[in-house]
Structures are given as structure tokens and as C-alpha cells.
Amino acid sequence: MAEILQYKRIDGIFHRMNALTKIIFLVVVILIAIVSTRPDIIAATAIILFALSVVGRFSRELIRQIPMLVFLSIGLILLTVLTMQSGDVIGYLIPSFIPYIGGNIPITAGALNFALILSLRFFAMLFAFQILIISTQPRDMVHALQKLHLPVDYTLMLLIAIRFIPSLQLEGKRIQEAQLARAYYPGEGLVGKLKSLTPIIIPLVSNALGKANVLGLTIDLRGLRTMKRTPLTESEYSVYDYVMLLFVAVAAVAAAAIITGMI
């Protein structure tokens, strides 16, 4: 399983940018993906993000997430087809040639369009979030959030949540490998995969609770409640930051003009 939300030490353009610039970039991308209801705009946003990851030399990390996003998209399409009936009927989920039950569950154009928009939004937002996490060290992100006057407690919770995801993913992989080393074989197919989750989830949750307890004690020992902070070194803005901010401003204006129908 590909690791997600994990910082990568790469000498790329995004790694040289200020964390605040990348946070602004992320916010603008999320706003464009949420506000826009046109699939072409959201798809273009996702393609541009992937192109930026190629420039930043970490496109492989984004490619590894595509199978998960495709699986999520298929689930969204099935869900919208089953629950949404709007627009012209373009087919049926159960073909009409099947006796008795054929011709049921119509597939409408409105349902497919809505599912496509949701899927592309997930692509765009996950790509943007991955770009931020892969290219930003946690301490730089904390410093940038403090400059935005985000409360310390919320900053800490966000950082812990981001750091816990790859940790739990790695722990789950180790538990699965330990079960396989003990010759545990739940079977094949969907039933076998569901049975294999139980011996992984239970120790994973137990270990996560133990780590949460240790983390809480560590936070108290380091004097978080004293509200005294060690001053951090200010990271200067480079030419890459100004180019990115200009690019974000132009993209935001262009997207707003297209969405409002000015173009």
C-alpha cells in the first residue's frame, strides 16, 4: 500500500517554497473545486496539479493514490445512480434483457454528472493536499499556521492527525505481515478480505490508543500548557513563492470569471 500524507526529502521547487505560500495555494484549489460545478474546470485543475507534481519531482506519490481514487469514484457513481434520479435516462444498471428484473435502476445523466463532479473534486483536493504534505516539513507548517493566528490547540490537533495517518498505515502493514508470517489465511474473495480485517483492526486500534496515551503524556511533559514558545527561524520568501502566488492569483481570477459566466 502506498504511503499517504508523508513528507518526502526531495530537492524540488515546492520544497524551496515557504509553507504559507503552499497553504494559500491549497485553500485556493479547494475553493475552486468546491465552488465550481463544471467538470471541465475541476478536471483541468487536477491535471494542472499533477503537472505541478511532475515539476516538483514527486509525481510518483500522486500516481500511487490513483487506484484508491478510482475505487472511490466507482463507489460514488454507484451511490449516485442508486439514490439520484434526475435528467434523461441513458441506460439501466440491470440490463433489460435479464428476465423479470431487467430494466430496473435507471442510470440518468444527472446522476453521472453529479458523480463525475464529486470524483474530480476528490482528485483535485487530494492532489493539492498531497503536494502540501509531501513538500512541507511539520515544523514549517506549524510556523505558517501560527502566522495565520490559528489557535495552538487546533494547530497541534491538525499536526497530530496528519502525522498519525502514515503511522497507522505502517502499523497496519506490519500487523498484516505478522499475521501472514503466522500462516493466517482467511480465504479468497470478498469474504476472505473481510475476515482478514478483524485480526488487523483490533490490534491496530489497541496500539493507537496506547500511542495516544503516550503522546498526551509527552505533550504535558514538554509544557504545552505553559504557553511559552521557542522562537522559530523565519523562512524567507524566494522567487518561487512570488511566482506561485502570481500563478494562484491568475488561476483564481480565471476560474471565477469562467464560473460566473464572464468568459
Which pLDDT tens digit goes with each residue over 117-138?
999 999 999 999 989 988 888 8
Determine contact, residues 82/65, Cβ cutoff 8 Å: no
Residue 178: C-alpha distances to residues 132, 183, 222, 263 (Å): 33, 9, 34, 58
- Is residue 227 pLDDT above 60, yes or no? no
Q: Are residues 38 and 99 in the same domain?
A: yes
145 domain residue, yes or no: no
Average pLDDT over residues 95-114: 77
pLDDT, position 102: 66
d(CA 263, CA 60): 35
Q: Which residue segment(s) compose the domain that 216 sits in?
A: 151-232
Residue 129 and residue 176 in one domain: no
Contacts of 144 (CB under 8 A, 6+ apart): 18, 19, 20, 23
Q: What's the whole-number mean pLDDT along residues 221-227?
A: 66
Is the pLDDT assigned to residue 169 strictly greater than 80? no
122 & 50 share domain: yes
Task: Give how many domains the chain has, as a whole number.
Answer: 2
Are 66 and 179 part of one and the same domain?
Answer: no
Mean pLDDT of 161-183: 78
| CA-to-CA separations, 146 to 19, 140, 220, in angstroms, rounded | 11, 10, 20
112 and 50 both lie in a single domain: yes
Is the domain of 63 the same as that of 176? no
Write the pLDDT tens digit of every residue in 8-56. 888 888 888 988 999 999 999 999 999 988 888 899 999 999 999 898 8
**Pair (22, 115) in one structural domain:** yes
Q: Give the separation between CA 167 and CA 212, rounded to whole angstroms.
A: 12
